Chain A
Amino acid sequence: MTTMVIIGGGQAGSQAIDTLRREGFAGRLVLIGEEPWLPYQRPPLSKKYLAGEFALERLPFRHRAFYDEHRVELRLGRRAERLEAAERRVTLDDGEIIAYDRLLLCLGAEPRRLACPGAQLSGVHALRSIADVERIRPDLRPGARLVVVGGGYIGLETAATARQMGCEVTVLETADRLMNRVVAPETSAYFAAEHGRHGISIVCGARVERFEGSARVDGVVCAGGERHPADAVIVGVGALPVTRLAQDAGLACDNGITVDEYCATSDPAIFAAGDCANHPSPHYGVRVRLESVDNAFEQAKAAALNMLDRRTVHDRVPWFWSDQFDNKLLICGLSQGHDRRVLRGEPAGRAFSVCYLRNGELIALEAVNHGKDYMAARKLILGRLRPDLGRLADPGIELRDL
């Protein structure tokens, strides 16, 4: 009997199980996950789950009955310690050895830590898992002073949630504007104003030098000496792909586990998908590593089909979203390499979009509170639309009519 093993119980691992069984795989299927929970959704962790508005039972994608029904052997709370590619076997932390015919690595990413003094103090948190949230939540009492390091998606979502929970929140960002790697200056300015309006203090150009406190953190000191008092700190400064298992097994890795367009690693029996995988994007003609729900979902689906020898290229226009207060930021496509930016609508109207073009082709769009533009753009980008710039800039013309 053929055995398929999946390491990693997140979005990608969960999706791969689904696809393998739906597409008729009838052999042995094993899912190994380090966390004790059934595969669960991470996006609510910085939002409703952190706020206590979303019960733990609502986080898993599927009920346990689904895994039983589909004969999935769950190894939860277990870590894969060693991968021996030549022998096609995985050894778990309790010594169990599982042999596979095909292996899928969905190892995810882990929060980047700051190396500065005091980073190990109690009260300095990262946010990636349920366990992280359980540690953070008691610190977010009304009136508590929270310093968020990093003005990206995670930092800003967490800041908004903490503010709504009654905390006094300061966001420290090293760049000169928020979310500078992923959105346009107009969008950064809009979100800075929104956070300011809700009473969050945003400090850009702030480089954290050290965390202070005896046992527990009580302040954050920036280069230049400015000190921000803190009862708790959340560090959201990006994530790094988890690759140790793959590297030790001799698989090619370069900012993630290197895979081809069929999601195969340098070992043809081993595939990788999700945040840990560095893959080609045929649409954009570059290699990318994406940390997004959409990519985890779609790449795992493609990987599962390829594990079944159903040759499937992973080629998608990726998309991302972020919820901050009552604002929804929706992004589709990759804007890197754009040579022109076109604004549709006025940020003052609270709903607008920024279009990105390269050599006349629409390559990405970010929409603030504008689901219609975003949905239309997904199709237009895929179709490599070369829009008329005048019409593109006219919010009175529907994007789908371009």
Chain B
Amino acid sequence: MPGVVFIEPGGGRHAVAAPVGVTLMEAARQHGVEGILAQCGGAGACATCHVYVDPAWFDRLPPAEELETGMLETAWEPRANSRLSCQVTLTADLDGLTVTVPARQR
């Protein structure tokens, strides 16, 4: 199972392991990572699972589709390395991925 590290809004590191095929958001939510609200459960309808991807990893993720890009533009403090964690599916080669949870989701 790939291991992923979430840097929580308070600065704490929350390391979780999750099976290949689930999304980054699901991995966070099932383990109660702070600051990932994920209200719509991955439908791409709320932008409350926004994360900043470690720049070393950003280009290794499949690019965002149009709906996600549009929603990220109006998320809270978007950056060039912003993603909706519900749109990133875990694969074996994402083992070690590190993302930072913003201070707020809106």
Contacts and interface: CB of A to CB of B under 8 A. Distances in A.
Physical interaction between A and B: yes
A375 interface: yes
A14 to B, nearest CB: 10
B74 A400 contact: yes
Provide the main secondary structure of the chain A interface.
Answer: helix
B95 to A, nearest CB: 20
A371 to B, nearest CB: 4
Interface residues of A, number: 32
Contacts of B74: 372, 375-376, 379, 400
Interface stretch (A58-66, A205-213, A244-252): A58-66
Contact of A321 (B30, B32, B43, B68): B43
Contact of A375 (B31, B39, B71): B71
B80 interface: no
B89 to A, nearest CB: 12
A323 interface: yes
A44 interface: yes
B70 A60 contact: no
A129 to B, nearest CB: 16
Interface in A258-300: 293-294, 297
A294 B39 contact: yes
Interface string B41-57: 10111110000000000
A319 interface: yes
Given A44-B41, A375-B74, 16 more contacts: A43-B41, A43-B43, A60-B30, A62-B29, A62-B31, A62-B32, A69-B32, A294-B46, A319-B46, A323-B43, A328-B44, A328-B45, A328-B67, A372-B73, A372-B74, A375-B73
Interface of B: 22, 26, 29-32, 34, 37, 39-41, 43-47, 67-68, 70-71, 73-75, 106
